[in-house]
Amino acid sequence: DAGITQSPRHKVTETGTPVTLRCHQTENHRYMYWYRQDPGHGLRLIHYSYGVKDTDKGEVSDGYSVSRSKTEDFLLTLESATSSQTSVYFCAIRGGETGGSYNSPLHFGNGTRLTVT
Amino acid sequence: GENVEQHPSTLSVQEGDSAVIKCTYSDSASNYFPWYKQELGKGPQLIIDIRSNVGEKKDQRIAVTLNKTAKHFSLHITETQPEDSAVYFCAARSNAGKSTFGDGTTLTVKP
């Protein structure tokens, strides 16, 4: 298994509180991603990073921010949690291009189950 | 942006039978098509992938076919076993590097 650790694995928080989820990798991969998984919606991209301090938005970025100050850590912050952000959050990593090809697979962590009450 | 549709959403087969899951995509620039298997409580794991310059790829009981003209690709599992029961996701990616996932198929293999 790729060396990806997500913490915490489970969290219950109240509406309006800030929450930070952490993704830590030991693979020295360039690309890191945050997805959320909801029934009937598959995996939707929240934010991603293509290097230290280089991040960009995904398709469902509203209400989320990210930071990457080191290659190995990618943090996802919910500034003021809402019930609609109750979900399972997955971090994924991907190595860089080889031989000019972008075709390398994602490796996922085991997820963080977040409940906002 | 890319849109990926996956069918069926649930699939139940008898052990030993074959299972087929189909996906269509919208962006003709997509050139990499992975399939992931997700077991309960875990993250998705890559089981097979195919590049756009290949029409078919096989790995033991698993195969993937790609029709670029029609913009669809399929996962085929032969001789299914109970341990194949899981949720399967297809995805499409272009050189922009962002993957778009289908909504998933829950496969149940009945012993």
pLDDT computed for residue B37 by the predictor? 98
A102 at the B interface (CB within 8 A)? yes
Cβ contact A59–B1 (<8 Å):
yes
Instruction: Tell me how far apart the alpha carbons of residues B42 and B49 are, in angstroms, rounded to a whole number.
Output: 20
pLDDT computed for residue B98 by the predictor? 83
pLDDT computed for residue B50 by the predictor? 94
Give all strands (DSSP E) within A2-85, no chain letters: 4-7, 10-13, 19-25, 31-38, 42-51, 54-57, 64-70, 73-78
Instruction: Tell me how far apart the alpha carbons of residues A20 and A68 are, in angstroms, rounded to a whole number.
Output: 13
pLDDT tens track for B31-51: 999 999 999 999 999 999 998
pLDDT computed for residue A17 by the predictor? 96
Nearest-neighbour CA in chain B from A91: distance (Å): 9
3-state secondary structure of B82: helix
Cβ contact B6–A58 (<8 Å):
no
pLDDT computed for residue A92 by the predictor? 95
Which pair of tokens denotes residue B2? Answer: 């890319």
Mean pLDDT, all residues of chain A: 91
CB A60: neighbour CB atoms within 10 A? 18
Q: Give the residue with greater pLDDT, B54 vs A13.
A: A13
Which residue in A44, A102, A108 is closest to B44 by CB distance?
A108
Nearest-neighbour CA in chain A from B58: distance (Å): 17
pLDDT computed for residue A112 by the predictor? 97
Instruction: Tell me how far apart the alpha carbons of residues A66 and A22 are, in angstroms, rounded to a whole number.
Output: 10
pLDDT computed for residue A99 by the predictor? 43
Cβ contact B43–A42 (<8 Å):
no
Which residue in B36, B49, B103 is closest to A40 by CB distance?
B103
Cβ contact B43–A59 (<8 Å):
no
Mean pLDDT, all residues of chain B: 94
CB B104 within 8 A of CB B6: yes
Instruction: Tell me how far apart the alpha carbons of residues A57 and A55 are, in angstroms, rounded to a whole number.
Output: 7
Token pair 């499409």: residue: B92
B70 at the A interface (CB within 8 A)? no
Instruction: Tell me how far apart the alpha carbons of residues B32 and B95 are, in angstroms, rounded to a whole number.
Output: 9
pLDDT tens track for A30-85: 899 999 999 878 899 999 998 899 999 999 999 999 999 999 999 999 999 999 99
